[in-house]
């Protein structure tokens, strides 16, 4: 038996997250249990204030539980200090955000290289890896363009290339299509599905759009700090 394969990539066990004190104390998460296996594509949904963004921040090691356990690759990540969580993020997690978060006066290739700089990768190797990641997202020939010279869909592709250049285990995508029109949104989703399917990249994505969540294999819905439903998408959107 492969014991490593039996361990979920990430898991919540009775996870609470509270803000404020005394009568102003508000539970953003109220004893949540959740388990996500390696290679899954999971969409997280819920209205504003449901707890989905708090859950995402904990999953990405940007925040820690107030109580309960957050396990990542078998480690109790919720107990790690800030510097050790930063190391974990840099080694294992890639992030994609709604607003792209690209440096404005920096080329696509230079934006993609940034996580590698934090890792201390030599310049020549950084450039090679950045070019490879940009090709992987379909941006050959756009390596030297700045964000202002790229469309919104192309900027999000640069952001995805930056997220995968370190070859992470987990990709955390927060409303990755929120700033895009319908066609570009579906192009980005096809790209994420391909990365999940062809590179065994686990994807956890927050979205408020059902047609975007339909690309995932599984949807977890949050409401009032709890999981309201957790279901397999029996007919996910097919991507060739």
Residue 5 has pLDDT above 60, yes or no: no
What 3-state DSSP class applies to 113? helix
> How confident is the model over 185-213, as pLDDT tens digits?
999 999 999 999 999 999 999 999 999 99
How distant, in Å, are the alpha carbons of 111, 129, 145, 235, 236 from that of 117?
10, 12, 20, 41, 37
Q: What is the pLDDT of residue 118?
A: 86
Beta bridge partners of 75: 72
**pTM for the whole thing?**
0.93
CA atoms within 13 A on the CB side of 46: 26
Q: Residue 70's pLDDT band (boundaries 50, 70, 90)?
A: very high
Q: What is the pLDDT of residue 3?
A: 41
Q: pLDDT averaged over the chain?
A: 93
Q: What is the pLDDT of residue 86?
A: 92
> How confident is the model over 104-156, as pLDDT tens digits?
999 999 999 999 998 899 999 999 999 999 999 999 999 999 999 999 999 99
Q: What are the strands of the beta sheet with 10-19, ordered from one edge?
A: 26-36, 10-19, 67-72, 75-76
Instruction: Scan for tokens 């396990």, then name that residue.
Output: 71
Pair 220, 51: CB distance under 8 Å: no
Look up residue 171 and give its two tokens.
């990709």
Residue 23 has pLDDT above 80, yes or no: no
Structural domains of the chain, with CATH: 3-232 (3.40.50.300)
């Amino acid at each position: 038996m492969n014991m490593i394969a039996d361990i979920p990539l990430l898991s919540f066990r009775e996870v609470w997250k509270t803000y404020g004190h005394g009568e102003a104390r508000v539970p953003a998460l109220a004893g949540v249990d959740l388990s996500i296996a390696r290679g899954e594509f999971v969409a997280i949904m819920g209205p504003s204030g449901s707890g989905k963004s708090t859950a995402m921040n904990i999953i990405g090691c940007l925040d820690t539980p107030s109580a309960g356990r957050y396990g990542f690759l078998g480690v109790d990540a919720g107990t790690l200090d800030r510097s050790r969580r930063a190391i974990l993020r840099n080694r294992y997690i890639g992030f994609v955000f709604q607003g792209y978060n690209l440096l404005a006066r920096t080329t696509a290739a230079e934006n993609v290289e940034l996580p590698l700089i934090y890792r201390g990768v030599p310049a020549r190797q950084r450039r090679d890896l950045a070019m490879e990641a940009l090709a992987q997202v379909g941006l050959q020939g756009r390596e030297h363009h700045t964000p202002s010279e790229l469309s919104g869909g192309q900027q999000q592709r640069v952001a995805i290339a930056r997220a995968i250049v370190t070859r992470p285990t987990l990709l955390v995508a927060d409303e990755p299509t929120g700033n895009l029109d319908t066609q570009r949104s579906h192009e980005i989703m096809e790209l994420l599905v391909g990365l999940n399917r062809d590179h065994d990249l686990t994807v956890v994505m927050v979205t408020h759009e059902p047609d975007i969540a339909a690309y995932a294999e599984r949807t977890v819905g949050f409401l009032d700090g709890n999981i309201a439903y957790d279901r397999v998408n029996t007919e996910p959107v097919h991507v060739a």
